[in-house]
Amino acid sequence: MAAKKSTAAPAAEHHAFKAEMQQLLHIIIHSLYSEREIFLRELISNASDALNKLRFQMQTNSAVRDPELPLEISLELAQKPVSLTVSDNGVGMTHDELLNNLGTIARSGTLEFVKQLSSAAPDQRMEMIGQFGVGFYSVFMVASEVTVDTCPADPAQPAWRWSSDGSGEFSMAPSARKRRGTSIRLTLKPDQEEFAMAPRVEAIVKRYSNFIPQPIRLEGRQLNAQEAIWTRPREQVKPEEYHEFYKYVS
């Protein structure tokens, strides 16, 4: 009799951040506290990138999971536990992409970057972090636990969950998520619960992410104007809007 093929789900995995990642987390958490609201800008920017990648993929590949889903970003607030979730229905990540994107810094020059970051002026650090593509880790300034559920656009690839408290380790396990895209849930620290308040979240979105081309919704209500800054009078455009716009298009 032929042996039955195993259908057991993959086992949970436990990983340690590499030394340079732990150094980077320490710098971000302890040196950018006064600008901690930028974590939301970084998550929204990443979500927008995922949607742009999905749009391109749909032009070249018809075999995409959930092709009917609208391309948008949603924010969800909860009080038990106090949390903020940022979701998109973009390209999603496979197991290996999740491991590489959130477990390591997959590029050369990482150690040199960490050295430069540690010696940089405080007002330069956030820009450097964004340029190096590690803005995601700013979530640990406000969150005691971060959970990422992601389902790839490729229908043949399963969904995965990544979780960490930022203390030096992270875990990965199969996720129950069925819809394409990624959700990032931040369980907020007790002294950061302001980021689960709708007025505070809306103000941050309007300050940093008003130009994002996809709708950003909170409880079904669109927050961003999706208005091109070059259509507005120069005196009405804030310096940070210029900065964020050029960061987005560059």
Order of strands, sheet of 143-151, starting from the edge strand that comes earlier in the sequence: 13-16, 169-174, 160-164, 143-151, 181-188, 82-88, 73-79, 216-218, 221-222
Of the listed ranges 26-35, 87-96, 104-113, 190-199, the least confidently predicted one is 104-113
- For residues 162 and 34, which has the higher predicted lDDT (pLDDT)? 162
pLDDT at 21 over 90: no
Tell me what percent of the residues of the chain surpass a pLDDT of 90: 58
Measured distance CA(53)–CA(238) in Å, rounded: 28
pLDDT at 109 over 80: no
State the pLDDT at residue 8. 62
pLDDT at 62 over 60: yes
State the pLDDT at residue 203. 97
pLDDT at 113 over 60: yes
Mean pLDDT, to the nearest integer, of 8-22?
82
Could you read off the pLDDT of 36-58 as tens digits, one per residue?
Answer: 999 999 999 999 999 999 999 99
State the pLDDT at residue 27. 84
Mean pLDDT, to the nearest integer, of 73-84?
97
State the pLDDT at residue 184. 99
Measured distance CA(76)–CA(219) in Å, rounded: 7
pLDDT band with cut points at 50, 70 and 90 for residue 242: low
pLDDT at 91 over 90: yes
Cβ-based neighbours of 162, under 8 Å, separated by 6 or more = 98, 102, 103, 147, 148, 150, 170, 171, 172
Mean pLDDT value across the chain: 87
Could you read off the pLDDT of 185-231 as tens digits, one per residue?
Answer: 999 999 999 999 999 999 999 999 998 999 999 988 999 986 555 55
| Fold of the domain spanning 13-249 | Heat Shock Protein 90 (3.30.565)
State the pLDDT at residue 171. 97
State the pLDDT at residue 19. 79
Pairing of strands 216-218, 160-164: unpaired
Measured distance CA(193)–CA(187) in Å, rounded: 9
Q: What is the pTM of this model?
A: 0.85
Q: Return the H-helix or E-strand segment holding 173.
A: strand 169-174
**Dihedral angle computed from the Cα positions of residues 247, 19, 86 and 188, in that order, rounded to the nearest 10 degrees:** -120
Measured distance CA(124)–CA(83) in Å, rounded: 29
State the pLDDT at residue 226. 61
State the pLDDT at residue 61. 81
